[in-house]
Amino acid sequence: MIYTFVIISIYLISGCETGVENSPSAGILRITLQSDPADTMLVERSDTFTVNQRYTALFMLKIFQGRVYQEKNFAVLYRTTTSYRQEDALYNILAMDSLGDYKQYTIFESLIPPGNYTSLEFGVNAASDYKLTIVALSGKVFQNPVELPPGEKLLVSFPQDFKVDENRVTQIDVQISPFKSITRYRDVYRFYRKMKITGVHYF
């Protein structure tokens, strides 16, 4: 009798529906950052400085607090898919790769819920512990601090429609113009962050 009851119970449990659907699997959102390949020259008084492979140039950015928005909802972005908390990160946007092009950095690579999104946002600032450093072919070194204009918001918003699918990768490429973004003000450069999205890719 007990044996018969157990068999019937298993049959009923396996045959009934809970009405709760499985949650969709996350997708991966990757955000890259690269300097504009056409923006390599800085004119300072009578000197012209050009980014080149012979001398290391330095323009350190601090990137932080990434988010993507779905109307009023948002998803937090992390540096890697295994990260569990948001962290600030530093990137030299004047660094060059072995081919002589500006390096492309992956600044966020995060698991987020699938769906349609309308904008990207993250913090961008010049790293306060580093000066803009660039060397002329003659060997002359130019260094100057860089800072945001007074009252400028730390977060930069990029309106952009994109989607994230389950178990797939969406990549958004962001470009910054390093020298077009700065304007001399007395003994510093004001950093106006000329940035734009140059591509959205699905893998």
Domain boundaries, the chain: 27-202
What are the structure tokens assigned to 63, written together? Answer: 């990137």
pTM of the predicted model, to two decimals?
Answer: 0.87
* Residue 5 clears pLDDT 70, i.e. is over it: no
- What are the pLDDT digits (tens) for 81-135? 999 899 999 999 999 999 999 999 999 999 999 999 999 999 999 999 999 999 8
- What are the pLDDT digits (tens) for 18-67? 444 567 899 999 999 999 999 999 988 777 888 988 888 999 999 999 99
Other CB atoms within 10 A of residue 164 CB: 23
Sheet hosting strand 182-185, strand order edge to edge: 146-147, 188-191, 182-185
What is the identity of the amino acid at 148?
L
pLDDT for position 18 = 42
What are the structure tokens assigned to 84, written together? Answer: 């569990």
Contact between 186 and 147 under an 8 Å Cβ cutoff? The reply is no
* Residue 3 clears pLDDT 60, i.e. is over it: no
* Residue 16 clears pLDDT 60, i.e. is over it: no
45 conformational bin, left if phi > 0, alpha if psi -120 to 50, beta if neither: left
pLDDT for position 21 = 54
